Amino acid sequence: MKIITYNVNGIRAALTKGWAEWVQKEGFDIICLQELKAEPGQLDLSIFDNLGYHHYWHPAQKKGYSGVAILSKVKPDHVEIGCGNSAYDAEGRVIRADFGDKSVFSIYFPSGTTGDVRQQVKYQFLDYIYDYLIALNKKGRKLIVCGDYNIANKPIDIHDPKGNKESSGFLPEERAWMDKFYENGFVDSFRQFNSEPHQYTWWSFRANARANNKGWRIDYIAVSESLKKQLAGARIIPEAKHSDHCPQLLEVNW
């Protein structure tokens, strides 16, 4: 089973850059999208039908903002829209699809880069989603948590750790949250197969950052430890250039 997570920074913009043709060529089984910046009514949904996907959308109430989706070639047993918190659900941050004993999430974690208020929202979301995911994991569901976490976990995950030590996305509290998450029943699927530095999923539009590979790894597919033995491979796909992010692929023996 080939699963990707991809912050498309606007699905309509990504479609104009050949996203659908790329997906058709690659043939992913499940696609988890973040930052749609669109409602289903603003899209030609036949595009996704023609690609062979069941598709489920959770847009934000605010137009042109946030939003997540899951596209799957296999029809899920159940789809859960939102995470039960009205504030986060209004922002279109969480969608979940269940397949037997497995649950696949697409989550768009808040960014704190616009100031202290949103940074506090980010911390509150981290606390809430941690409890939500840990509780599901303890119930025995096998979780595949795809998303833009908006956190670079380790110095290896960011091009300039010293220069960004006070930047949102690399703050000690954020990194500690990820450490705690991985210490309590989850694993970073990418690092199970890749230990090399300079592998990133997001680059600023400034200073030719992508061409110079001055990026951050902030997009992840975390999985329950109970799935660890079923992981078959993982990689970042930097050649996919439909966004300021690139996707991560996970292969799982389903």
> Quick check: helix, strand or coil at residue 132?
helix
pLDDT for position 113: 86
Give the C-alpha separation, 230 to 84, whole Å.
30
Give the C-alpha separation, 4 to 22, whole Å.
13
pLDDT in tens, 163-220: 999 999 999 999 999 999 999 999 999 999 999 999 999 999 999 999 999 999 999 9
Rounded to the nearest 10 degrees, how much is the dihedral formed by the CA atoms of 185, 181, 99, 231?
-70
Give the C-alpha separation, 38 to 199, whole Å.
29
pLDDT for position 126: 98
* Average pLDDT, rounded, for the chain: 97
**Which domains does the chain show, CATH number per domain?**
2-252 (3.60.10.10)
pLDDT in tens, 242-252: 999 999 999 99
- Confidence bin at 115 (pLDDT 50/70/90): confident
Across residues 138-162, what is the average pLDDT? 98
pLDDT in tens, 98-110: 999 999 999 999 9
- Confidence bin at 114 (pLDDT 50/70/90): confident
- Confidence bin at 90 (pLDDT 50/70/90): very high
Token pair 């959770």: residue = 58
pLDDT for position 164: 97
Across residues 43-70, what is the average pLDDT? 97
Is 139 exposed, middle or buried, given 0-12, 13-18 or 19+ CB atoms closer than 10 A?
exposed
**Torsion sign across C-alpha atoms 42, 43, 44, 45:** negative
Q: Is residue 232 pLDDT above 90, yes or no?
A: yes
- Confidence bin at 136 (pLDDT 50/70/90): very high
pLDDT for position 53: 98
Active site positions, annotated: 148
**Torsion sign across C-alpha atoms 44, 45, 48, 49:** negative
